[in-house]
Amino acid sequence: MRLTPATELEYRCKKLQALMQTADLDAVLIVQNADLYYFTGTVQNGCLYVPAQGQPLYLVRRDQARARMESGLKEVLSFSAPRDIPAIISSYGYPEPKRIGLEFDVLPVVFLERYRKVWPNVVFSDATPLIRQVRMIKSHYEIHLMQDAADQVHKIYERAKEVIKVGMTDIELAAELEYTARKHGHLGLIRMRVFNGEMFFGHTFSGTDSAVPAYTDTPFGGLGASPCFGQGAGHKPIGPNEPIIMDFAGSIDGYLVDQTRIFSIGPLSARLTQGFEDMLKVQELMKEIAVPGISWGEIYDRCHGLAMELGYADSFMGAPSSQVSFIGHGLGIEIDEYPFIAKGFKDQVMEIGMAWAFEPKVVFPGEGAVGIENTFYLSNDGLKQLTRSDDALVIL
Amino acid sequence: MRLTPATELEYRCKKLQALMQTADLDAVLIVQNADLYYFTGTVQNGCLYVPAQGQPLYLVRRDQARARMESGLKEVLSFSAPRDIPAIISSYGYPEPKRIGLEFDVLPVVFLERYRKVWPNVVFSDATPLIRQVRMIKSHYEIHLMQDAADQVHKIYERAKEVIKVGMTDIELAAELEYTARKHGHLGLIRMRVFNGEMFFGHTFSGTDSAVPAYTDTPFGGLGASPCFGQGAGHKPIGPNEPIIMDFAGSIDGYLVDQTRIFSIGPLSARLTQGFEDMLKVQELMKEIAVPGISWGEIYDRCHGLAMELGYADSFMGAPSSQVSFIGHGLGIEIDEYPFIAKGFKDQVMEIGMAWAFEPKVVFPGEGAVGIENTFYLSNDGLKQLTRSDDALVIL
């Protein structure tokens, strides 16, 4: 367990304040857990008032003592309700805000209504793009945590090789991997920013079930064990000569990596084997072209183009009618951060400090799915790979 | 795995439509996963348009085939974006809505902005209270699922007796219990409605760590393993003569029960033992007074009053400065449903069909926490208890 250094928090806040000035915001009020963790170093019941200039004020309802202990911020203050905030700001000598940015992509409507009562003359706008821009550039500290998460997921991968047996069900395998993860410090929680985003460690499934589409915005879906959570592992027994997918998010101190590997008891069909090899080629292309300055959309277009050339129009990134329009996604505290290696996005470019998972995959309904996923980082010295398990198909 | 019967879905929809007429709403548009599961029988990427009269329309972006297979609704339709909805409604012969209810407590602001563009002349209001009112009365079908979840959590309790050992850490114990849960069909996910609500199976911790407050709106908090998720199990080794808390949510097909039991290796101190016995008395009082017609707030007041008489002003429902103002919470698909056995709530009364967890607990900082939690149901024949593990302290 590490506490986020105060210098990290200061730097993050200053980056946000610089963007706020460009966006003409007097303040940003942060309330969502992932953003609070990023900007305060802890998650308490409260909110962070970031003025355009000066120290941010961490207003904490519960728990005060833990906020003081765990957060490196200078100003941790008590409050009981949003109506207290104007007086606190004023007593702190900060000007009355006229324009406040909020996390409109995650903030429920009732919260905005409450803030409108507190500040009837304030113009509220969406600060999410600014927050996401700050968070998309990882510090060395953050990359170290992700490196540890990659070590954790490698241990789970090694365990998978030991436990996979014919006849065990997907959910039994998932339970073994989750158990291993927890014993290696995984916090359990996978934070996902998108509304209704739900994930439990990742997706572990085999054969035909690996090719079942789901409601999730992911190339693989899975049948799941119930319509109430119809993704991931279900009760299908694992057989020989079928792909067994371990798409697993490692997590250390709230930082995630994403890794997918394919196992099989005995060899796979020629089509699946070829599909897997071809996805490695798509990964190689991304590694070549992901340099600072290339747009997220261009990486997508070129890698998608290669997959089309290789003959995967109907299977790349999902079963027909369920194909997703991305190949990679940024990650850190949440599994769906900037950058999006996705269709469109021609104006956003790769920058040093970005971290993302890249997951070229093919899905053949009625047979199974294969592909690869690793987590990468654009360092001063070029592209680095964080996840480190051997890419190769594991034939058991 | 069970599919929600079509008759259940019809009945639920009709109950919502009756409330909509009282509230003068022309339609309710449901988008949140838990509500979608309740009203459609599945969770897909899409939304449910419920007109004031007539069949609800399940508009599904992804996955169409699964929606048709898993939902018992008659009308499962394809759509790609909110802007398609007015034409679909119109083609279906439904009148243009003037007042639409949305889930304002969970719906992010950006979604409301999108809907305002689609329906510039519609008045939007909060349909959450109506939805929660429908969901708070459980059917026999739902109670059967919760009964199964209670059986599951009992098996995990039995396993706890076998695995608890001096020297194992709280997180190692949690991992064992979670593993057992998964092998007995637990879906992993615990749905919590409140904004920023996060829970991973429940809370497993021991001794002093059980008395550490957290950001969660729960009587127990826990240090956790990192400030990024500072609740539940941490790395504290379990010792003799201290309370070991297993506060665990069972889950079958998306339906939850909540149960807390206390274990100890060797006897507990007189104060903790007395505290535990006294919490059983508070539970007994609730069992006596929870009849149809009593207000939620009166149950709270009387049980809270008994705890005060017994001398727990500084420890009941949390450490000093962290005490919560409820003793029980409704549950079903989410862990925080109606009814709230909480301070206030004098106008809402207990009704047949309600299910709730009741959890009188005391917290002694620096020493530990004790208490009891069971899940109850108000049947036609009076109060029934769903969770069934023996209430007694388990001295190992």
Q: How far is B292 from chain A (nearest CA, A)?
A: 30
For strands A99-102 and A123-126, give the pairing: parallel
Nearest to B67 by CA among B36, B99, B30, B91: B36
Cα–Cα dist B150/B134, whole Å: 23
Contacts of A113 in chain B (CB under 8 A): 104
Whether A228 and B43 lie within 8 Å, measured CB to CB: yes
Any chain A CB within 8 A of the CB of B333?
Answer: yes
For strands A355-358 and A374-379, give the pairing: antiparallel
What length does chain A have? 396
Any chain B CB within 8 A of the CB of A175?
Answer: yes
pLDDT band at A315; cut points 50, 70, 90: very high
Amino acid B274: pLDDT = 98
Chain B stretch 197-216, residues whose beta carbon is closer than 8 A to a beta carbon of chain A: 198, 200-201, 212-216
Contacts of A112 in chain B (CB under 8 A): 109
Any chain B CB within 8 A of the CB of A123?
Answer: no
Number of cross-chain residue pairs from A and B with Cβ atoms under 8 Å apart: 203
Percentage of chain A beyond pLDDT 90 is 99
pLDDT in tens, A76-107: 999 999 999 999 999 999 999 999 999 999 99
Q: Of A116, A135, A154, which closes a domain?
A: A135
Burial letters A263-294, b for 16+ CB under 10 A, else e: bbbeebbeebbebbebbeebbebbeeebeeee
Whether B214 and A113 lie within 8 Å, measured CB to CB: no
Q: How far is A194 from chain B (nearest CA, A)?
A: 10
Whether B105 and A105 lie within 8 Å, measured CB to CB: no
Tell me if A186 sits within 8 A of A226, measured CB to CB: no
pLDDT at A218 over 90: yes
Whether B107 and A109 lie within 8 Å, measured CB to CB: yes
Q: Does residue B170 form part of some domain? A: yes
Cα-to-chain-centroid distance, residue B65: 30
SS3 content of chain B, % helix, strand, coil (to 5): 35, 25, 40
Count of Cβ atoms closer than 10 Å to residue B1 Cβ = 15
pLDDT in tens, A187-212: 999 999 999 999 999 999 999 999 99
DSSP labels, B96-158: PPSEEEE-TTTSBHHHHHHHHHH-TTPEEEE-HHHHHHHHHS--HHHHHHHHHHHHHHHHHHH
| The 3-state secondary structure of chain A, one letter per residue | CCCCCHHHHHHHHHHHHHHHHHCCCCEEEECCHHHHHHHHCCCCEEEEEEECCCCCEEEEEECHHHHHHHCCCCEEEECCCHHHHHHHHHHCCCCCCCEEEECCCCCEHHHHHHHHHHCCCCEEEECHHHHHHHHHCCCHHHHHHHHHHHHHHHHHHHHHHHHCCCCCEHHHHHHHHHHHHHHCCCCCCCCCCCCCCCCCCEEEEEHHHHHCCCCCCCCCCCCCCCHHHCCCCCCCECCCCCCEEEEEEEEECCEEEEEEEEEECCCCCHHHHHHHHHHHHHHHHHHHHCCCCCEHHHHHHHHHHHHHHCCCCCCECCCCCCCCCEEEEECCCCCCEEEEEECCCCCCECCCCCEEEECCEEEECCCEEEECEEEEEEECCEEEECCCCCCCCEEC
Q: Does residue A144 form part of some domain? A: yes
Find, in chain A, the residue whose alpha carbon is nearest to that of B112.
Answer: A109
Q: Does residue A269 form part of some domain? A: yes
Contacts of B32 in chain A (CB under 8 A): 196
Amino acid A210: pLDDT = 96
Tell me if A257 sits within 8 A of A250, measured CB to CB: yes
All residues at 6 or more sequence positions from B7 whose CB lies less than 8 Å from its CB, including other chains: none
Count of Cβ atoms closer than 10 Å to residue A95 Cβ = 13
Same domain? B74 vs B144: no
Find, in chain B, the residue whose alpha carbon is nearest to that of A199.
Answer: B189
What length does chain B have? 396
Whether A179 and B178 lie within 8 Å, measured CB to CB: yes
Any chain B CB within 8 A of the CB of A305?
Answer: no
pLDDT in tens, A9-46: 999 999 999 999 999 999 999 999 999 999 999 999 99
Whether A179 and B174 lie within 8 Å, measured CB to CB: no
Averaged pLDDT score across all residues of chain B: 97
Strand boundaries in B155-239, DSSP class E? 202-206
Same domain? A60 vs A105: yes
Nearest to B127 by CA among B222, B35, B54: B35
Tell me if B188 sits within 8 A of A200, measured CB to CB: yes
The owner of tokens 């033992």 is B273
pLDDT in tens, B285-341: 999 999 999 999 999 999 999 999 999 999 999 999 899 999 999 999 999 999 999
Range of the domain at A230: 137-395
Any chain B CB within 8 A of the CB of A168?
Answer: no
Burial letters A226-241, b for 16+ CB under 10 A, else e: bbbbbbbbbebebeee
Same domain? B162 vs B253: yes
Whether A178 and B196 lie within 8 Å, measured CB to CB: no
pLDDT at A158 over 90: yes
ipTM, two decimals: 0.97
Nearest to B33 by CA among B126, B140, B107, B134: B107
Interface test with B, best of A228, A231, A235 (most B CBs within 10 A): A228
Same domain? A226 vs A371: yes
The residue-averaged pLDDT of B223-247 equals: 97
pLDDT at A225 over 80: yes
pLDDT at A352 over 80: yes
Q: Does residue B87 form part of some domain? A: yes
Q: Of A135, A166, A198, which closes a domain?
A: A135
Interface test with A, best of B68, B105, B203, B228 (most A CBs within 10 A): B228
Structurally, chain A folds into a number of domains equal to 2
Residue B185 tokens, joined: 């069909």
CATH number for position B121: 3.40.350.10
Q: Of A81, A102, A135, which closes a domain?
A: A135
Whether A172 and B183 lie within 8 Å, measured CB to CB: yes
Instruction: Give the DSSP letter of residue B260.
Output: E
Cα–Cα dist A104/A275, whole Å: 40
pLDDT at A1 over 80: no
Cα–Cα dist A310/A279, whole Å: 9
Any chain A CB within 8 A of the CB of B259?
Answer: no
Q: Does residue B204 form part of some domain? A: yes
Taken in order B149, B154, B159, B165, is the CA torsion positive or negative? positive
Residue A307 tokens, joined: 């997959």
Whether A179 and B175 lie within 8 Å, measured CB to CB: yes
Instruction: Give the DSSP letter of residue B272.
Output: H
Amino acid B1: pLDDT = 75
Chain B stretch 220-239, residues whose beta carbon is closer than 8 A to a beta carbon of chain A: 221, 224-230, 235
Q: How far is B287 from chain A (nearest CA, A)?
A: 31
Whether B198 and A189 lie within 8 Å, measured CB to CB: yes
Any chain A CB within 8 A of the CB of B65?
Answer: yes
pLDDT in tens, A121-155: 999 999 999 999 999 999 999 999 999 999 999 99
Whether A31 and B62 lie within 8 Å, measured CB to CB: no
Helix (H, G, I), strand (E, B) or coil at B285: helix
Whether A198 and B33 lie within 8 Å, measured CB to CB: yes
Residue B266 tokens, joined: 């060797």
Comparing CB atoms, the residue among B178, B200, B321 nearest residue A189 is B200
Whether A228 and B201 lie within 8 Å, measured CB to CB: no
Comparing CB atoms, the residue among A46, A63, A195 nearest residue B111 is A195
Q: Does residue A1 form part of some domain? A: no
Amino acid B321: pLDDT = 84
Same domain? B20 vs B116: yes
**Is-cis flag, bond preceding A63, omega within 30?**
yes
Same domain? B199 vs B326: yes
CA dist list (Å): A343 to A251, A291, A298, B228: 28, 18, 8, 32
Same domain? A315 vs A262: yes
Same domain? A287 vs A262: yes
Tell me if B331 sits within 8 A of B257, measured CB to CB: yes
> Strand pairing partners for A259?
A248
Cα–Cα dist A334/A136, whole Å: 11
Whether B225 and A43 lie within 8 Å, measured CB to CB: no
Nearest to B316 by CA among B280, B281, B367, B363: B363
Q: How far is A108 from chain B (nearest CA, A)?
A: 4
Q: Does residue B1 form part of some domain? A: no
Same domain? A315 vs A231: yes
CATH number for position B188: 3.90.230.10
Helix (H, G, I), strand (E, B) or coil at B20: helix
Amino acid A285: pLDDT = 98
Same domain? B322 vs B176: yes
Averaged pLDDT score across all residues of chain A: 97
Comparing CB atoms, the residue among B32, B62, B214 nearest residue A322 is B62
Whether A215 and B44 lie within 8 Å, measured CB to CB: yes
Any chain B CB within 8 A of the CB of A111?
Answer: yes
Amino acid A321: pLDDT = 84
Q: What is the rounded (10 degree) CA torsion for A154, A155, A156, A158?
A: 90
Tell me if A135 sits within 8 A of A333, measured CB to CB: yes
The owner of tokens 């207990």 is B350
pLDDT in tens, B251-289: 999 999 999 999 999 999 999 999 999 999 999 999 999
Amino acid B214: pLDDT = 94
Same domain? B373 vs B317: yes
Percentage of chain A beyond pLDDT 70 is 100
End-to-end alpha carbon distance in chain A = 35
Any chain B CB within 8 A of the CB of A80?
Answer: no
Q: Does residue B385 form part of some domain? A: yes
Same domain? A247 vs A181: yes
Whether A172 and B189 lie within 8 Å, measured CB to CB: no
Residue A322 tokens, joined: 């369920």
Interface test with A, best of B70, B109, B195, B334 (most A CBs within 10 A): B109
Tell me if B323 sits within 8 A of B342, measured CB to CB: no
DSSP labels, B306-367: HHHHTT-TTTBTSSTT---SEEEEE-SSSSSEEEEEESS--S-B--TT-EEEE--EEEETTT
Contacts of A196 in chain B (CB under 8 A): 31-33, 45
Instruction: Give the DSSP letter of residue B214.
Output: -
Cα–Cα dist B331/B339, whole Å: 8
Strand order in the sheet with B255-264: B202-206, B244-252, B255-264, B394-395
